[in-house]
Amino acid sequence: MADEFRIETDSLGEVRVPSGALYGAQTQRAVENFPISGQRFGRAMIHALGLVKGAGARANQALGNLEEPLARAIAEAADEVAEGRWDDEFPVDIYQTGSGTSSNMNANEVLATLANRALEGTGHRVHPNDHVNFGQSSNDVIPTAIHVACRVALERDLAPALELLAEALEAKAHEFDHVVKSGRTHLMDATPVRLGQEFSGYATQVRKGVERIRRGADELAELPLGGTATGTGINTHPDFAAVAIQRISEATELEFREADDHFEAQGARDALVSAHGALNTVAASLLKIADDIRWLASGPTSGLSEISLPPVQPGSSIMPGKVNPVLAEALMMVSARVAGNQTTITVAGGRGNLELNVMMPVMAHAFLESVALLANGARAFTGKCVIGIEANEERTRELLLKNPSIATALNLHIGYDKASEVAKQAARQGRSVRDVVLELGLLDEEQVDEALNVRDMTEPGFPGDREGRQ
């Protein structure tokens, strides 16, 4: 049993650490102190920590703060962390110290161990605080890593996934442009629209969502690095932040910059709250789109059934042949989860007490979870649902013929009151508006056909008045 552990020390005394672990005493204390959720930082955040630590080491070497062998060993170890070689060495629970100090020290200890392995026999020795953390504090490193991780995730993962969804919806908008169908407001029959117009609206929602998240990503370009403990920059070189951030920009191929005000950048996490607001809006858009598609595909005999979704799996353990809109429902649940994360981030963002926000780890976790869920959900919805949607044109014509709201086009010919009577009679008797108008002798056949041209009703202008629209 003794071989399974080694003794490490920190300012509080001795700690038993698993013998094969790269981390040390402070990480082990955190593992023991926070057995809360079993959830750890994922790849995105560990990657960002590696980038930030590597950039810090290289900046400190360039500024003469670290000897070249030490800085090189730390930077190379940080590169390995960023690449994902040592993810298992980051065991600290998300629900930890609110500054993320445990995760910062976890990184410092792992990098020191890796660097010392590389330096063995050279006479050099790396210390996790004195060297790996030189010119830094958890209070500026962790929010910097959060901004880097979240911005990279938005730009590299979510934006492309949403663009693919928008393209698929735009393709369906073009494919369905000729299909005229009943519009609906309040879930009740309304004047006609084209199925392509509905899908065009969905595509535009998604396109606007991409614009929103990119504006949010721009807010995350400001990095707190260089503020150290309270935003003053104590114990760091005045040029450290600029040099390190330039290296982060080069590594990510995204433009980052030093915070305009380090006290705002460490005391508040407003940029993260704002950026997640864009994610929440995207989630609301996807909820609307997925739910609409469920409604349009409902049936096949007792619902709207204006479109058909690709069957991807049996829908019932008891009803043979039943197929459900499972991809739409999965995306709706993603949206619900993101809305919950919005609440978490809003509450946590308000805990920027004095010079430091003290709920950063859960904010990072919630934000990155939202990005991953939205990106993966959008990809699945696109590939397994949207691209396979088909229009049921016979059904759309059947429902449109019985839609009493097409009587709206008669307002210009027989007035609102008389058109209302026609609509009510058509609905009551289950007949078409055209038949009722002819039966009542309100217009002749040519006038009715001109007035009730449903394709004309889907465009601006006066239905039947082609010259007026030219």
Residue 51's domain is classified under what CATH number?
Answer: 1.10.275.10
Q: Are residues 192 and 333 in the same domain?
A: yes
The radius of gyration computed from the CA coordinates of the chain, to the nearest angstrom, equals 30
pLDDT at 453: 87
In a domain, 247, yes or no: no
In a domain, 80, yes or no: yes
In a domain, 238, yes or no: no
pLDDT at 2: 58
pLDDT at 469: 46
Quick one: which H or E segment has residue 330?
helix 326-349
In a domain, 242, yes or no: no
List per-residue pLDDT tens for the chain, 470 residues long.
557 999 999 999 999 999 999 999 999 999 999 999 999 999 999 999 999 999 999 999 999 999 999 999 999 999 999 999 999 999 999 999 999 999 999 999 999 999 999 999 999 999 999 999 999 999 999 999 999 999 999 999 999 999 999 999 999 999 999 999 999 999 999 999 999 999 999 999 999 999 999 999 999 999 999 999 999 999 999 999 999 999 999 999 999 999 999 999 999 999 999 999 999 999 999 999 999 999 999 999 999 999 999 999 898 888 888 999 999 999 999 999 999 999 999 999 999 899 999 999 999 999 999 999 999 999 999 999 999 999 999 999 999 988 888 888 888 888 999 989 988 998 899 888 888 889 999 888 888 888 888 898 889 988 766 554 44
Q: Are residues 385 and 272 in the same domain?
A: yes
Q: Are residues 389 and 345 in the same domain?
A: yes
**Strand residue runs (E) in 60-219:** 180-185, 188-194
Beta bridge partners of 40: 93
pLDDT at 320: 87
CA dihedral (224, 37, 284, 384) positive or negative? positive
Q: Is the peptide bond before 300 cis (omega within 30 degrees of 0)?
A: yes
Quick one: which H or E segment has residue 365?
helix 360-384
Q: Are residues 205 and 113 in the same domain?
A: no
Q: Are residues 268 and 164 in the same domain?
A: yes
In a domain, 456, yes or no: yes
Q: Are residues 107 and 199 in the same domain?
A: no
In a domain, 13, yes or no: no
Q: How far apart are CA 292 and CA 377, in angstroms?
A: 16
Cβ atoms of residues 274 and 219 within 8 Å = yes
The answer for residues whose C-beta is within 8 angstroms of residue 204's C-beta and 6 or more apart is none
pLDDT at 204: 98
Cα distances (angstroms) measured from residue 275 to each of 138, 257, 320, 380? 22, 17, 45, 24
pLDDT at 467: 54
pLDDT at 470: 41
- Final residue belonging to a domain, choices 343, 377, 394: 394
Q: What are phi and psi of 190, to 5 degrees?
A: -140, -175
pLDDT in tens, 434-445: 888 899 998 888
> Tokens standing for 56?
């810090």
pLDDT in tens, 81-93: 999 999 999 999 9
User: Which CATH number does the domain housing residue 265 bear?
Assistant: 1.20.200.10
Q: Are residues 197 and 160 in the same domain?
A: yes
pLDDT at 174: 98
Q: Are residues 347 and 286 in the same domain?
A: yes
Quick one: which H or E segment has residue 181?
strand 180-185
Q: Are residues 220 and 330 in the same domain?
A: yes
Q: At how many degrees (to 10) do helices 101-119 and 68-83 cross?
A: 120
Which residue matches tokens 């739409």?
328
- Out of 174, 302, 316, 365, the active site residue is 316
In a domain, 248, yes or no: no
**Strand residue runs (E) in 215-260:** 222-223, 257-258
Q: Are residues 194 and 128 in the same domain?
A: no
- Final residue belonging to a domain, choices 351, 378, 394: 394
The reply to whether 186 belongs to the active site is yes
Q: Are residues 97 and 179 in the same domain?
A: no
Q: Residue 435's CB: how many other CB atoms inside 10 A?
A: 15
Domain count, the chain: 3
In a domain, 462, yes or no: yes
User: Which CATH number does the domain housing residue 461 bear?
Assistant: 1.10.40.30
Domain that holds residue 408: 402-469
pTM (2 d.p.):
0.94
- Final residue belonging to a domain, choices 134, 154, 173: 134
- Out of 11, 186, 302, 317, the active site residue is 186
Q: Residue 178's CB: how many other CB atoms inside 10 A?
A: 12
Cβ atoms of residues 424 and 435 within 8 Å = no
Q: How far apart are CA 22 and CA 35, in angstroms?
A: 20
Q: At how many degrees (to 10) do helices 43-62 and 68-83 cross?
A: 160
Q: Are residues 283 and 219 in the same domain?
A: yes
